[in-house]
Amino acid sequence: MVCGVAVAGVYAAQPVLSPMGRDLGVADGSLGWLVATGQLGYLAGLVLLVPLGDVLDRRRLIAAHLALVAAGTAVTAAAPAAWAAFSGLAAAGAFAVVVQTTVAYTASISPPAERGRNLGIVTSGVVIGILGSRVAAGVLADLWGWRSIYVTLAVLAAVLAPLTLTALPADPRPDTARYGQVLRSFGGLFVQPLFLSRGLIAFFLFASFGTLWSGMALPLAGAPWHLSQAQIGLFGVAGLAGALGAARSGRWGDAGHAHRVTGIALALLLASWAAIGQLSWSLPLLALGVLLLDFAVQAVHVSNQHALTTAYPDRTSTAIGAYMVFYSLGSALGATATTALFATTGWLGPTTLGATLTLAALTTWKLTPTPRRHCLTCTP
């Protein structure tokens, strides 16, 4: 629940970019910045806030960051002009890194043989938040306007913040490094081969993901489909299959198959773009492509996190935060590039970009040495 509510504020604008832009005076070619601003705020939070989880009680951090997510989404809901909305989106994005603190918290309290399974469950909450927010955003926008989306998210985050203090066990840091040491460790990860390869895969992966979800609403709202915001949001239902991929891939990671799962999922992602490219004449093929894309993206994402939390068990917050820098940069690239390309080339540009980014991720995976199989649940 924490992950779903927190991450929804970063992605809720995607199906309602057009009405938000009209209301706030944002030009069509710059609509991607309504999503990218939250992603850039997220990037700042990954660097400055997530490493705190290796210093302080993660439960208290989760509660505090949820309260600040509520504040950021409330500012967005009340924004009288674009600058205020961008400020609120940046703040909500920065403190939405509570998701990564929650992932690290889950990894640290899980028995090793169940770490992948539990990470899959938590990441399923992220998927439901990302994709469910698109469905809810379309419905709420049609009923009460786009601002009602952010009012709802602000209320949910404000209610969850105190609940986490009673519902979650404490996570004290009895023997931790200082914040400055943790930040230095954060930077040092970027020269580690395992970390760098998984990070580059995540960069291309989420740039491809952002290309679809930040751009898809634009052609669906225009000719020949002329879909409403609620109808566009319903494509998020197809994407919820990604939650199943996330949960299952965690168990595959526990069984030692994370590397193989990554390659298969990336091949599925490439196939998804062949179907997504048919948007101009076939909505069923688009729905199939969305289903495949979200399944593949979340399977790779959970496999990446499983590999990194296993490799860096004494600094899970720092490792997850640093890894998600690649996620944030990739998502921001996808969001800004797809709206700019669509304005000049139509849907062909975003489709080509998404497929090219997937090929780059597959190439990175192919060049990554296969790790020695390590099974946490097998009998020796």
pLDDT digits (tens, 9 = 90+) for 324-352: 889 878 987 888 899 889 989 999 999 99
pLDDT in tens, 288-307: 999 999 889 988 988 888 88
User: pTM for this structure?
Assistant: 0.78
pLDDT of residue 29: 72
Q: What is the pLDDT of residue 145?
A: 84
Tokens 């309260």 sit on residue? 67
Q: Tell me the domains of the chain and their CATH numbers.
A: 2-367 (1.20.1250.20)
Segments of the chain with pLDDT less than 70: 173-177, 229, 242-247, 369-380
pLDDT for 380: 34
pLDDT in tens, 345-359: 999 999 999 999 999
For residue 179, give the DSSP letter: H
User: What's the pLDDT score for residue 340?
Assistant: 86
Q: Are 297 and 205 in contact (CB under 8 A)?
A: yes
The pair of three-digit structure tokens given for residue 274, joined into one six-digit string: 């062949």
Dig out the tokens for 303 from the structure.
């496999």
Residue pair 184/47 in contact by the 8 Å Cβ criterion:
no
CA-CA distance, 104 to 24, in Å (whole number)? Answer: 37
